Amino acid sequence: MYKKCALCLALIVLSGRLATAGEIADALTEQAPEVTQGPLWAFFAEPLQPCSAELSREELATPGLLQTFYAELGYMPVWQSQARRTLLADTLLQLAEDGLEPAHYPLPEPLPDPNCADILSSRAYLDALQHLSRGKVEQARVEPFWRAPDSINPDPRPSVLTLAWQGLDDLPGAFAAARPTLPQYQLLRQAYGQLRNQPQQERPIIPAGRLLKPGMRDPRVPALTARLAAEGYLSIPPETDGASADLYDETLADAVRRFQVRHDLQGDGLIGNDTLTAMNTSAQARLDQLRVNLERWRWLAGDIEQETLLVDIAGGMLVYYRDGLPLWQARAQVGRPARQTPRLKSLVSRLTLNPTWTVPPTILREDKLPAIRDDLDYLTHNQMRVLDAEGRQLDPETVDWSRPGNIMLRQDAGPKNPLGKLVVRFPNPYSVYLHDTPSQSLFAKSPRTFSSGCVRIEGILGLLDVILSEEQCKDVSQRITRGRTEQVRIEQRLPIVLAYWTANVDELGQLSLRNDPYGLDAPLLQALDTAPR
């Protein structure tokens, strides 16, 4: 801070030359806490017009980012240079490349008091760095995300204030340093830029109609062909007239299948309502879809560690990352909209081999009790036992199934058990976990929202090969073969993140656009489009 004569001299001259802002900040940090109040001190000590009309009293009178930013610089103005102000304006415009709206970070028009203009410029600067680094929208407000206390590590990223102080000498560099370095963010940002820079041509809506199958003729085929060609799914010019113009042939069907796979639809070449909805989605809606997912990556940039199990809920995938690179992945079945898979971070703590299944209360009430009331033999056919609250087995004939009271249903381990041969457990308040499943055919579907909240993993035993040592994996495999229910503790607990993205770019640069099964995109987009304060 600007303190006493010796420090004032150090701020003016450092080693015979003009000190940079970074050197000033370093020098200030090393000094005693006594402050010589600079010209901006009055705005924080007692808010004055015109700044009090633009800034909340809390921003001026509490030690938040804005006041701390200036306190470290001795309450001296930092935007008096026209060159620096121009560079800040240009750098703020580039926020559009990250899906943020530059108009939400306005710089002040000329004001009678230049000190007030300086404060308003700093607010835009700090807001932009904060939003680019950690996200603009408060995550807990729109998409609550639970974190296990022992899974929260010190944030390795530089603080926003550190970025801001150092960035006074290199504004573009500060914004680049604030941006998440995750490959997933960088790839999605590139895809957003490519889509944003494409010419936005008006495309006709393809009308609804009967289910269209390969080999059929339909008057909508020319519009369908033109749409697929415009988006790069057809490598040959479409035939718009002639005898075959309305024929949905195999070449066109192959293009439709590629479109469907990229949009997380069943790649069967059948054109129904879901495929038509995806095809008729406007370019602006797709841009907005990428914007909300860039925001989700900004939220989670501090949660994704070098070694992480990552469940992509909307995409129905599990990916294991080691050293920041995808090492193993599998398809996943997640919760249906009425029973959503929660968003969380935790640590894998143990494995259950050949698990029994205690039916969760919701499934017991909504699914199992109606089936048992229809046919008491349902219990025998599904190898289920009835237990009281103390875990003692009951005779099903003695239970009043119209009002069964505080009972539990437990299914024995075996081929009919919905948890299969393995459960991967991690602490969380939702009682969800990863598990094997006998419902293997559902992995070929898309989207894969079939479960009651837990995450079913295709080929989950293969996960053991990458998270366990060779010796541990061999031992666990042998114990699974024996068929007994056993617990295996994981000594080196593995971070696991369950999160939600409706757009993703793989390591090959292929953009995948998903459905929004939980309807989370629209509320987030609305919040993202709302100006701060």
Quote the mean pLDDT of the chain: 88
Place of tokens 């009281």: 388
Task: Report DSSP state, residue 357.
Answer: E
Left if phi > 0, otherwise alpha if psi is -120 to 50, otherwise beta: which for 349? alpha
- pLDDT confidence bin for 484, thresholds 50/70/90: very high
Q: Are 41 and 118 in contact (CB under 8 A)?
A: no
Task: Quote the pTM value.
Answer: 0.87
pLDDT for residue 186 is more than 90 = yes
pLDDT for residue 200 is more than 90 = no
Q: Which residues are marked as active site?
A: 435, 454
**pLDDT at residue 112 in the model:** 74
**Residue 524 vs residues 281, 288, 312, 319, 337: alpha-carbon distances, Å:** 18, 10, 18, 25, 17
Q: Determine the Cα–Cα distance for residues 97 and 90; give it in Å rounded to an integer.
A: 12
pLDDT for residue 15 is more than 70 = no
**pLDDT at residue 242 in the model:** 65
Weakest mean pLDDT among 102-111, 281-290, 312-321: 102-111
Q: Using one digit for the tens of pLDDT, what is the confidence trace for 463-476?
A: 999 999 999 999 99
Q: Are 386 and 372 in contact (CB under 8 A)?
A: no
**pLDDT at residue 31 in the model:** 46
| Closest residue by Cα to residue 53 from 94, 108, 125 | 108
- pLDDT confidence bin for 3, thresholds 50/70/90: very low
Average pLDDT for 108-122: 86
- pLDDT confidence bin for 241, thresholds 50/70/90: low
Place of tokens 């895809």: 191
**pLDDT at residue 281 in the model:** 92
458 phi, psi to nearest 5 deg: -75, 130
Weakest mean pLDDT among 111-120, 327-336, 519-528: 111-120
**Residue 53 vs residues 47, 108, 275, 438: alpha-carbon distances, Å:** 9, 13, 51, 64
**Is 3.40.50.620 the CATH classification of the domain at 305-356+418-501?**
no
Percent of the chain with pLDDT over 70: 88
Q: Determine the Cα–Cα distance for residues 311 and 456; give it in Å rounded to an integer.
A: 11
**pLDDT at residue 423 in the model:** 98
**What residue ranges do the domains of the chain occupy?**
4-191, 221-281, 305-356+418-501, 357-412
H or E segment and range at residue 505: strand 503-505
Half-sphere exposure of 418 (CA within 13 A, CB side): 18
Q: Using one digit for the tens of pLDDT, what is the confidence trace for 387-438?
A: 998 999 999 999 999 999 999 999 999 888 999 999 999 999 999 999 999 9
**pLDDT at residue 235 in the model:** 78
How close are the terminal C-alpha atoms of the chain, in Å?
Answer: 30
Percent of the chain with pLDDT over 90: 73
**pLDDT at residue 57 in the model:** 55
Average pLDDT for 275-285: 93
**Residue 231 vs residues 226, 257, 505: alpha-carbon distances, Å:** 9, 14, 17
**pLDDT at residue 19 in the model:** 46
Length of the chain: 533
Q: Using one digit for the tens of pLDDT, what is the confidence trace for 43-77?
A: 877 755 557 666 665 565 556 889 899 999 999 99
